[in-house]
Amino acid sequence: MPQNKNKIVRDLTEGNVTLTMLTFAAPLFLSSLLQTVYNVTDMVIVGRTVGKEGLGAVSIGTDILHFLCFIAMGFSNAGQVIISQLIGAGMHERVRRTIGTLFTFLGAGALIITVAGLFLLDNMLDWVNTPPEARAYTRNYLAICLCGMIFLYGYNIISAILRGMGDSRHPFIFVAVSVFVNVVLDIVFIVHFKWGVVGAALATVISQMISFFWSLGFLCRNRKHFGFHFTLAEFTVSREALRPLVKLGVPMVIQSAAITFSMLFVNSYINTYGVVATAMTGIGNKLSSIVNIVNIALSAAGSTMIGQCIGAEKYERVPKVLKVSFSINGLIAAAAGIICVLFPKMVFGLFTTDAEVLKMAMTYVPVLLLLFGGGALRPPMTSLINGSGNFKLNLAVALLDGVFMRICLSLLLGITIGYGVYGFWYGHALAGFTPFVIGGCYFLSGRWRTRKYIIGKKTV
């Protein structure tokens, strides 16, 4: 295992916090940007060729697929944090066992999710109150995307390994190729062949497959560099590696599942207001995701940087990492908010020309501003909680953010107070501030300095 893997710690020790974060986050930002580009491309092309029914189908299908990825997101994020702490502590043999365990554990999870998803496909469409006009489109989109779930899970595993080791550049390269293929196939399948949402789904699965196999090939070619040689014995699940993975991963899985489930729950009520409201929700989520690409990148970068600093016991650098993240996130959110306030018709008009959707979009701007604000304040605190490996606090955030705040606020505003679809939109947006409040209290308490929550002592 190369000894330069804790370069992040050395850079932070030398005081280059802003430069180190931007250097590490830049490929993550570009990766998120490219992923958002091809998600938005699907929405724009489908919206302009199929109409609001196609927009609704992609919106609902994306929500369900995001929920089904909760295992991949939770355990891959946990694996990234654990690997970053192990690298910071110089425990390279345990890195190898963690990689093998991560591959086998999540690979099995992907197969189970795929089979269960296909079996319960119609039930899921009923559970989220899919509008009748969009049901056939949504079913076709989901069925095809579910068949590519193994590639999505596999890519998340490899990205977690690379980012945990401090390499964010290669995941960006893999995503760049995937996005290029996806955009080209969108044009060919949707515009040329007129395959609609089926074409969008096929383009997504094929691009994910290419990204996975290319990234897997990279690990195989550089197996000596990463200390993992892809022998059958290395894929054996190690109890020593599985214990911290489950300890940190289960709360992260619950967090991911709770948040995505609560969003599905809220959106299922929104869907009862008709396909126009469903389409509007999809557009709003995409606009929010465009702004969040910087936030997500800085959150992932911050988790790795904080994890390695805690592993190396360089606690004094953690507040500086958070300060840089807050500053950059705030500037991006403010700029996006100004654009949406000044030019709402131009922004929403990118996705659709439907008069009903555009009319509702003009009243959605305040909701969007709240989404931008929550998106700016949330990631730094998430980085602190994840980077420190505090699984108990992760669980608390999951339950409060995902279950209590989002669902309760939405039902309170939407039904009890009677704001209707707007109440559900505002409830979802306000819930996004929960991790900031909890994380802020955790930071002020100073308890994140006390111990390494996941990897234990360096004597192993």
Which pLDDT belongs to residue 369? 94
pLDDT of 89 higher than 60: yes
> Both tokens of residue 234?
């290395």
pLDDT-based confidence at 123, cuts 50/70/90?
very high
pLDDT of 333 higher than 80: yes
Strands annotated E in 92-210: none
pLDDT-based confidence at 5, cuts 50/70/90?
very low
> Both tokens of residue 173?
């390269």
Average pLDDT, rounded, for the chain? 82
Q: What is the mean pLDDT of residues 86-108?
A: 82
| Burial tier of 334 (Cβ tally within 10 Å: 0-12, 13-18, 19+) | middle
Which pLDDT belongs to residue 370? 94
Residue type, 358: L
pLDDT-based confidence at 21, cuts 50/70/90?
low
282: closest CA among 340, 350, 206?
350
Which pLDDT belongs to residue 320? 82
Which pLDDT belongs to residue 14? 45
pLDDT digits (tens, 9 = 90+) for 212-226: 999 888 888 887 777
- Looking at mean pLDDT, say which of 74-78, 291-295, 335-339, 397-401 comes out highest: 335-339
- Looking at mean pLDDT, say which of 49-53, 194-198, 413-417 comes out highest: 413-417
pLDDT-based confidence at 342, cuts 50/70/90?
very high
Which pLDDT belongs to residue 282? 85
Which pLDDT belongs to residue 292? 77
Which pLDDT belongs to residue 20? 65
Over the range 29-50, which residues count as b (16 or more CB within 10 Å of their CB) and which as e? bbbbbbbbbbbbbbbbbbbbbb
> pLDDT exceeding 90 applies to what percent of the chain?
23
- Looking at mean pLDDT, say which of 108-122, 248-262, 287-301 comes out highest: 108-122
- Cβ pair 85, 311 in contact under 8 A: yes
pLDDT digits (tens, 9 = 90+) for 348-395: 888 888 888 889 999 999 999 999 999 889 888 888 887 777 767 877
- Between 455 and 287, name the one with better pLDDT: 287
Which pLDDT belongs to residue 150? 92
pLDDT-based confidence at 4, cuts 50/70/90?
very low
pLDDT of 459 higher than 50: no
Which pLDDT belongs to residue 10? 52
Q: What is the mean pLDDT of residues 111-125?
A: 94
CA distance 310 to 388: 7
pLDDT digits (tens, 9 = 90+) for 254-292: 777 777 788 888 989 999 998 899 889 888 888 887 777
CA distance 359 to 348: 10
- Between 245 and 308, name the one with better pLDDT: 245
pLDDT-based confidence at 146, cuts 50/70/90?
very high
pLDDT of 27 higher than 70: no
- Between 35 and 66, name the one with better pLDDT: 66
pLDDT of 81 higher than 50: yes
- Between 193 and 455, name the one with better pLDDT: 193
pLDDT of 13 higher than 50: no
- Between 316 and 294, name the one with better pLDDT: 316
- Cβ pair 203, 185 in contact under 8 A: yes
Which pLDDT belongs to residue 380? 87
Residue type, 306: I
CA distance 385 to 380: 9
pLDDT-based confidence at 454, cuts 50/70/90?
low
Q: What is the mean pLDDT of residues 47-59?
A: 83
Model's pTM, two decimal places? 0.70
- Looking at mean pLDDT, say which of 4-8, 257-261, 293-297, 437-441 comes out highest: 437-441
Long-range pairs of 169-172 with CB within 8 A, sequence gap ≥ 24: 169/27, 170/215, 170/218, 171/27, 171/28, 171/31, 171/215, 172/27, 172/28, 172/30, 172/31, 172/34
- The residue whose two tokens read 């109150």 is 129
**What sign does the dihedral 31-35-37-38 (CA atoms) show?**
positive
Which pLDDT belongs to residue 136? 92
Q: What is the mean pLDDT of residues 114-123?
A: 94
